[in-house]
């Protein structure tokens, strides 16, 4: 019974030896002395300006994640579109169409949620921030007395 798993154990053993061997070989090959220029932050071949630790606007991540979701959607839909005619000829075209519309519908619901939440707006007002929402009373109070 245990001999059936011998090939799996051999595979794991070879994988572990390969990884450890690469680490040990790298330890002997790479230079061991560090110097100041080698320890600086790498910025595409340019001299670093300032610290590498700074606050990054999270809106970049949200937009990138939304883009990736819809990019993956295209990657999933394209193969279906290429064989859809053959599926129609085989009689399974309606089933494939329903699955495809359901998939796109789920993504559209997600997009609507993100849109309603306001994550697609680059400059959005914080809840309770008087600068983001124009207030009629404060605008009327700002008008000088003689200008009415």
| HEC sequence for the chain | CHHHHHHHHHHHHHHHHHHHHHHHHHHHHCCCCCCCCCCCCCECCECCCCCCCCCCCCHHHHHHHHHHHHHHHHHHHHHHHHHHHHHHHHCCHHHHHHHHHHHHHHHHHHHHHHHHHCCCCCCCCCCCCCCCCCCHHHHHHHCCHHHC
- For the cut 70, the answer to whether the pLDDT of residue 124 exceeds it is no
pLDDT (tens digit, 9 = 90+) per residue, 1-45?
A: 778 889 899 999 999 999 999 999 999 998 878 787 777 777 677
Model confidence, pTM: 0.47
């Amino acid at each position: 019974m245990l001999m059936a798993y011998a090939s799996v154990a051999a595979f794991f053993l070879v994988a572990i030896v390969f990884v450890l061997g690469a680490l040990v070989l790298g330890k002997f090959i790479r230079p061991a002395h560090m110097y100041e220029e080698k320890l600086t932050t790498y910025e595409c071949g340019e001299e670093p300006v300032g610290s590498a630790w700074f606050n990054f606007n999270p809106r970049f991540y949200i937009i990138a994640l939304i883009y990736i979701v819809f990019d993956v959607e295209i990657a999933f839909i394209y193969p279906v579109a290429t064989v859809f005619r053959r599926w129609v000829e085989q009689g399974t075209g309606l089933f494939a169409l329903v699955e495809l519309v359901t998939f796109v519908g789920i993504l559209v619901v997600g997009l609507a949620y993100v849109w309603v939440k306001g994550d697609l707006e680059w400059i959005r007002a914080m809840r309770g921030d008087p600068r983001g929402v124009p207030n009629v009373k404060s605008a009327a109070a700002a008008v000088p007395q003689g200008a009415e």
